[in-house]
Structure 1
């Protein structure tokens, strides 16, 4: 990167952190630290909610996913507005009426202490691991692209977040997220405009190419339980995930509990429901335009430049150069075919266009085989190398083709996204540990100042734990999907407990506690035996459905347990 890029990157990151500390300086009590003095207006809440959900993974992985799989991922969010309306009508009024610090306080009022503690612990386990992955997933890619030490990258992201989150609490998180959201969306929209300007064909022709190659596949009505991204999973299974995430995950609940009024909190949540889909559409569309760009401008045979540089200086350099030559010849053949297909489309020769599309698909298969051979060489040279390179597609394009200053801004987008989602997680972990475990079950009668200091200490503790986990997270695979998977393993059970509390008034504490334990055991069984089966039964279920299964299982097991207890 150029000197200008480094200036833009570090000025953006440190100015946001400093602004958060400055705006929230001064003595606080526990209420203002955890609920931000209930001073947030609806648009601040809405932006904070969006920034919490929009992790760095969103901006690193989503364009690469569109490059590889088209825009069908957008269907994952189709159920979001429905979930926001349900939460606004049911969850938020109850939280405001009880004046809770955390969502889990409600569960003791409705059930008992053990149900509250169990649900809080499930959240802490899930979100504690998730915080480490949220830091590690972008750090592994950014450290590779920038040539930084991975551990130092983890520490940089983590310490910046700890600094302003511990200092200012919920208010600091919400204030900085406004700035971070402006950087994120401004940077991505600017990148999208530049991508379109760099296209060697017109924008209309690019749309023709993307449509013909099935990259504009926004809607799919095909029902398949193993498919995570279609209308049916988006409007059913994903609704359960969003209900749990926005309705019972403290990292989101804490965002709207800081609202000035119930109406302000509702408006902020609804704002998120209706702006998130366009936001994801823009990010996915940028990925599709990068795909079109690379059909006319030759892409690297492997997008992780660090690994290709390693292999060029290894004993496999000759084999790699040979594969690169084969890939270049295949690309040139494909570029000619794209020009022919575009000419056929513009002259309304659909049959000819389809015939050429078949030829292009054959060329794509040939290129995929060459890429697989390259990946095999990379693994031979470095057995620990990660061969999944779609997450490097967008940032490699940024570094190779975008002008100085914009490159630094796009890296600031990624770091800002990592910081915004991590700060919400640490803020929520600190408040849940303080309110639901420490204050409720360990030290019940201390002063307000003591609990304020405890909350700050727990926030710093979880931040350091996230950095430590991120340092050793290379022991795990498929980290980009791990965040959503990790949530799906626990969210269904947590949501089920809340749904029982809100709507199944005849089920009591002991029954729902048993139901939650059995539900969590069932979800873990379904996951670890997914695609394998047991005792003659086989199933292959996309992890989004875990949320629906877990929620319904709590309701079912809880109902049966309550009937037996009555007898």
Structure 2
């Protein structure tokens, strides 16, 4: 056990107390469910954007990223090449539907497009998948606390969950976003300190080390071999994981909800574009750390690879560093946990409680209920988090595998909703069952890698849903108002402006700023090729 010391405890304690204090301060501004779920529409776009980045990066990348690339090399970054493509698709086709509706839950769209059963099924899928993936983030943080203090993993899971619960329950989405901003800063500072220390500690210097790693195949980020059994290839990253991440950012209440707090559609889109530009740099940093650690430790085997970065940090004689690292990883975890708790509370309150149990209660009642549902989901997350302790592989990869079982259904429902004319509610529900069955079969009886599970589930879901809709309900006479074609017709007939401050309100219309992001995608591919080629 690492001797944590009074200074490190002080650094960590100040951070945790500050988070709770911020929640108390922001709680004075929460007077309604709209404040709790969407804030007061005064949060700047850059803060929302940082919150989006911090939520998905989380402790899983801080610990799991280096653990993954330590054994697999820089090829792992292929999984994250697709963010510019993902963000362009989401802000062009999906985000306008949600923002224009003015709702807090994106599942409200599914009810308008298909019906209440489709909305309820997707809400249940979201709550299940989000609970499991959030538990993984909490477990990653418990590893840090256990490593540096000797606290048991179970006790650490409970402590982290309670602290995040307190400020989220009090301050709502505003507390989530502003604490995420602070947490992202701490995480970045911690990572940069580790990176600088590692560069200084490499016995042969950076360039000689990279040359040696290149000879081992560890620096090649672009594996072009096409194989469905391989996880880290360009094809799995650009094709399979593009579909996966479209679901994460475009059909995920936790991500979309924070953009709905924006002042206008332009701010909502800009907040997402921050992830489109920033993701490649963030993941390159974490994954390069893992590759360099492979050289520093001469590829030795760790009992748990997720502690590699902590093992290195504990050897550095920098006062307060371990306290900062602990705060950084706890911060990263809380940025995911607080977002999950708020979004799960939102979905439970709006899509289930208000819809089926208390449809005519007062706003004060729903605000109180949303806070109690926040407590409920915090308690429910603890169990799965403890179960993750039996996982020995990269927690980042474990999370991705768990999430891949659910994303196909989400992608298919929202995709069919906006693009399909003839799909009906009965059709999509049958499609969901067949989609889950196909993913289960592929995961159980084939060697197809998990990045392709989303594509397989979504394709199966889509084909079955279309066929079942036509067989059971026949062809639709016209497009629903909630399809791309239907929206274009509605905007034209009502004379509603299609742009706001130069940004498109009309789903399916590409903004000029998106073209720059697409260009950035190709530049990043070339840069990764050049990194390996010119070592």
Q: TM-score, normalised by structure 1?
A: 0.80
What number of residue pairs does the alignment pair up?
A: 470
Partners of 2:322 and 2:382 lie apart in 1 by 26
Contact 2:247/2:407, CA 8 A, preserved across alignment: yes
Is 1:543 the equivalent of 2:450? yes
Q: Indicate the residue corresponding to 2:495 in structure 1.
A: none
Partners of 2:364 and 2:144 lie apart in 1 by 41
Q: RMSD over aligned Cα, in angstroms?
A: 1.8
Decide which of 407, 413, 429 is 1:513's aligned counterpart: 429
Is 1:492 the equivalent of 2:408? yes
Is 1:200 the equivalent of 2:190? no
1:215-252 per-residue CA deviation (whole Å, 9 max, x = no partner) reads 21211111111111111011011011111111111111
Partners of 2:74 and 2:10 lie apart in 1 by 34
Q: Indicate the residue corresponding to 1:417 in structure 2.
A: 332
Partners of 2:387 and 2:436 lie apart in 1 by 26
Moved more, 240-249 or 126-135: 126-135
Contact 1:17/1:176, CA 8 A, preserved across alignment: no
Q: Indicate the residue corresponding to 1:528 in structure 2.
A: 444
Is 1:565 the equivalent of 2:472? yes
Moved more, 513-522 or 550-559: 513-522
Decide which of 282, 289, 294 is 2:292's aligned counterpart: 289
1:238-249 paired onto structure 2 within 5 Å: 238-249=241-252
Contact 2:68/2:394, CA 8 A, preserved across alignment: no
Contact 1:511/1:559, CA 8 A, preserved across alignment: yes
Is 1:431 the equivalent of 2:375? no
Decide which of 379, 398, 402 is 2:313's aligned counterpart: 398
Is 1:216 the equivalent of 2:219? yes
Q: Indicate the residue corresponding to 1:381 in structure 2.
A: none
Contact 1:165/1:423, CA 8 A, preserved across alignment: yes
Partners of 1:140 and 1:27 lie apart in 2 by 34
Q: Indicate the residue corresponding to 1:149 in structure 2.
A: 152
Q: Indicate the residue corresponding to 2:417 in structure 1.
A: 501
Contact 2:49/2:275, CA 8 A, preserved across alignment: yes
Is 1:276 the equivalent of 2:276? no
Offset, 1:434? 0.5
SS in 2 for 1:216: coil
Decide which of 421, 441, 444 is 2:356's aligned counterpart: 441
Offset, 1:129? 2.3
1:259-316 per-residue CA deviation (whole Å, 9 max, x = no partner) reads 1111101011111111011001011112222233234xxx9x664xxxxxxxxxxxxx
The runs of 5 or more residues in structure 2 that have no matched partner are 475-535
Partners of 2:8 and 2:106 lie apart in 1 by 42
Offset, 1:58? 1.0
Contact 1:63/1:287, CA 8 A, preserved across alignment: yes
Offset, 1:13? 2.6
Decide which of 87, 98, 101 is 1:98's aligned counterpart: 101
Offset, 1:479? 7.4
Is 1:80 the equivalent of 2:91? no
1:282-361 paired onto structure 2 within 5 Å: 282-295=285-298, 303=302
1:48-63 paired onto structure 2 within 5 Å: 48-63=51-66
Q: Indicate the residue corresponding to 1:229 in structure 2.
A: 232
Contact 2:306/2:394, CA 8 A, preserved across alignment: no
1:349-407 per-residue CA deviation (whole Å, 9 max, x = no partner) reads xxxxxxxxxxxxxxxxxxxxxxxxxxxxxxxxxxxxxx4x2212111111123522122
Contact 2:144/2:310, CA 8 A, preserved across alignment: no
Q: Indicate the residue corresponding to 1:160 in structure 2.
A: 163
Partners of 1:479 and 1:129 lie apart in 2 by 16
Decide which of 454, 457, 460 is 2:369's aligned counterpart: 454
Q: Indicate the residue corresponding to 1:123 in structure 2.
A: 126
Partners of 1:461 and 1:566 lie apart in 2 by 39
1:410-445 per-residue CA deviation (whole Å, 9 max, x = no partner) reads 121111111111111111110000111111122110
Offset, 1:472? 4.8
Offset, 1:473? 4.5
Decide which of 256, 261, 264 is 1:261's aligned counterpart: 264
SS in 1 for 2:39: helix
Partners of 2:343 and 2:456 lie apart in 1 by 26
Decide which of 382, 387, 402 is 1:467's aligned counterpart: 382
Q: TM-score, normalised by structure 2?
A: 0.84
Larger-gyration structure (1/2): 1
SS in 2 for 1:108: helix
Return closer, same or farther for 1:527/1:291 CA change in 2, 3 Å cut-off.
closer
